[in-house]
Structures are given as C-alpha cells and as structure tokens.
Structure 1
C-alpha cells in the first residue's frame, strides 16, 4: 500500500521508498525512512497536497510524491 491511498486520521509506518534520484533524496532528507511513524492529517480542498505528521513535525506532499512511499497501517 502507498501513502497516497490513505485517508485523513489513519496512522501508518513507512516500509519502503520507490523513488530514486532527486525525489528519493528529497524524501529521505525530509525524514522518510523505513520505520518512520506517519499520520495523515488532512487533504487540501482540491486534493493536493496532503498534510502528514511525520516523527513530530508536519510535512506536505503532492499525491504523486506520496505514491512513492510504501506503508503499512498500524
């Protein structure tokens, strides 16, 4: 399952990252690593971006970026 498929209010744990290159590096720099705790806070009114609570801080990603983050629901 990928992060873009989840609805607000769901908590999950990151299991993998399929992005490579600059996007993969950016996501890792933001704190997306296997085992990271992620909670979906909300989607913007026009769907993009999605706001996440990641290890104590808030991050916003586009759905096409969130599609590269593999998760499992806790």
Structure 2
C-alpha cells in the first residue's frame, strides 16, 4: 500500500498523543504491520510512503521468535 502527501519530511516515530490532538499513532502502526517500508521523495515536492505488509499476521519484532506454523505462542 502507498500514500502520498505534500510534506518533504519523512515519517518518524513520536510519542502518541493520548488526548488526540496531534496523533503519533500512524507510523508506529504501519511499521508494526509492515515487513518493510519505503519513502520516495518526489522531485516536485512531497513524498510517497509505501508499506509492504507481512502475510496474515504482524511481523515479529527483531530478535523475537515466531512459533512454527500451526502452533500458538504462550
């Protein structure tokens, strides 16, 4: 999936705003669900952000083990 906007700034992790005024949840969610991401800065300004999701489940965190297929983690 890909989205674009006019801002030249790359997405970044930031502390979520729990009262809902400024966000901070989107990039965290995208990086948790994506196998990999890409940011392409456009020559006309702005950028396109692409996320390539993991199949069927969130990707494991680096250093964590995913249980073999058909087994549940505890």
Q: Rg: which structure is higher? A: 2
> Relative contact order, CA 8 A, sep 6+: which one is greater?
1
The TM-score, its normalising length taken from structure 1, stands at 0.32
How does the TM-score come out when normalised to structure 2? 0.32
Q: Decide which structure has greater strand share.
A: 1
